[in-house]
Amino acid sequence: MLMGVLVWLPIIVTIWAIGYIIDVADHLITILPARLQPQALFGYKIHGLGILIAMVVVFFTGLMAANMLGRRIIAVWDALLGHIPVVKSIYSGVKKVSESLLSDSRQSFKTPVLVPFPQANIWTIGFVSGHIPNEINSTLPHHFGNDSSEDYIPIYVPTTPNPTGGYYIMVHHNDVHEIDMSVDDALKYVISLGMVQPDEQKHPTLHEIFSHKTSKTH
């Protein structure tokens, strides 16, 4: 029975998730005029048509945004939403996060590390993320010479089993310990509550990543 559950559970959850996405996308068809909806054109509902339309709309939106005219239109749209109270906070926040995660120039998670959290002698997995702004870095206490830019490292600590929620903390580099593990393996380990073990292979270290970043800057 246990082996049967282990076989069928991921299959059922995957089918349910895909079906839910398709069902939500099918509701997008309701924004079309009644005479253009599948029921009016073909006499019956076509499941999955909504997600196909959504993919086409997203694709052509990307094509438009990749040229000069499209970028100007998007800039005007951003400026318009940027003047609406409440809306500008939500829109700009989501836009910046999505750009950092999905764009080619993103500064996504660099490497998994161990950090003391939520207190000393209690350790958790975190991910080096982005960089600390100068306005914040200048107010942090520094005790190791004049070069304060490397004293603290920005870390994202995900929650378990839902890694989309978590904490963004700034940890002194002496308290950050590298893990010889890829970002994907570390996320799987966190999401699975430690039951999915990482693959045994060599991954770039924190020093190698920041050295490569410094060399690119120069």
Q: What whole-number distance in Å separates Cα of residue 163 and Cα of residue 140?
A: 27
Structure tokens at 54: 């959504």
CB 94 within 8 A of CB 104: no
Q: Name the strands in the sheet holding 166-172, side by side, starting at the edge strand that comes first in the sequence.
A: 166-172, 152-158, 123-128, 112-116, 177-178
Nearest to 178 by CA among 118, 133, 112: 112
> What average pLDDT score do residues 55-63 get?
81
Higher pLDDT, 48 or 130: 130
Residue 153 clears pLDDT 80, i.e. is over it: yes
Mean pLDDT, rounded, of the chain:
75
Q: What whole-number distance in Å separates Cα of residue 123 and Cα of residue 102?
A: 29
The pLDDT of residue 107: 47
Q: What whole-number distance in Å separates Cα of residue 68 and Cα of residue 71?
A: 5
Nearest to 172 by CA among 109, 116, 118, 112: 116
pLDDT digits (tens, 9 = 90+) for 95-131: 766 665 555 444 456 788 999 988 888 999 998 887 7
CB 190 within 8 A of CB 169: no
> What average pLDDT score do residues 137-165 get?
73
> What average pLDDT score do residues 42-67 get?
76
pLDDT digits (tens, 9 = 90+) for 172-190: 888 889 888 888 888 888 8
Q: Which range scores top for mean pLDDT: 97-106, 156-165, 202-211?
A: 156-165
| pLDDT bucket at 203, cuts 50 / 70 / 90 | low
Residue 116: C-alpha distances to residues 11, 90, 122 (Å): 37, 32, 5
> What average pLDDT score do residues 137-148 get?
65
Residue 206 clears pLDDT 60, i.e. is over it: no
pLDDT digits (tens, 9 = 90+) for 23-34: 777 777 777 777
The CA dihedral of 141, 144, 150, 152, to the nearest 10 degrees, is -40
